[in-house]
Copies of this chain bind each other. A is one copy, B any other.
């Protein structure tokens, strides 16, 4: 049966990004202490097959955990890009002309926009009527494959709070950030069931949880 999954790289203190994301720094402020970029840098020190989340190498994580690639993605607008408010400038995501998704991606936004087809099978659809609608559309697009809630953490938190995520795969990077966007913030207490994960091949620990409803 298809699932709703989420892959996220977090620091040991649970942050997925530093504060103050900009176009130049999609993972947020360096703050003199190396906030977001520290998380980012650490992810890219790891072997290809150990990377996941953040920079959209969910496929790599999927390959590693021997699950099928998702049939659709949902992401928050801040993960899609730094543009806020109206779509008053051209922006087609952080991932270039041929993004690594290769399936429909549903972007949560308050501002309507026409679908944006890209090379390689990715199309960005813009959803203005909330997280449940985005998930419904993603499920329909995914058919019998999984839907991945791609992030960021605040989007994942909304889906967790709504009880809509079945499996959460965390990739814990050995740094602490102390500030930023935090997984589980504002989410009511959860019961999780730890599923088997491969032993770490690098400095990143993989935790795979089934979210018990």
Contact = CB atoms under 8 A, between A and B. Distances in A.
Copies of the chain in the assembly: 2
**Which of A14, A33, A204 has the most CB atoms of chain B within a 10 A radius of its CB?**
A14
Interface in A145-192: 170, 172, 174-178, 183-184, 187-192
B33 A188 contact: yes
A213 to B, nearest CB: 14
Q: How large is the interface on A (under 10, 10 to 19, 20 to 34, 35 or more residues)?
A: 20 to 34
Interface of A: 12-14, 33-35, 38, 170, 172, 174-178, 183-184, 187-194, 197, 199-200, 203-205, 207, 209
Contacts of A172: 207
Chain A interface main SS type: loop
Nearest to A34: B189
Contacts of A203: 193-194
Contacts of A183: 13
Nearest to A204: B194
Nearest to A42: B191
A98 to B, nearest CB: 33
5 contacts: A12-B207, A38-B189, A174-B194, A175-B192, A178-B188
A42 B183 CA distance: 21
Given A13-B14, A194-B200, A177 B189 contact: yes
A138 B78 CA distance: 49
B194 A205 contact: yes
A183 B13 CA distance: 8
A192 B209 contact: no
A175 B205 CA distance: 17
B193 A174 contact: yes
A174 B192 contact: yes
Contacts of A188: 33, 178
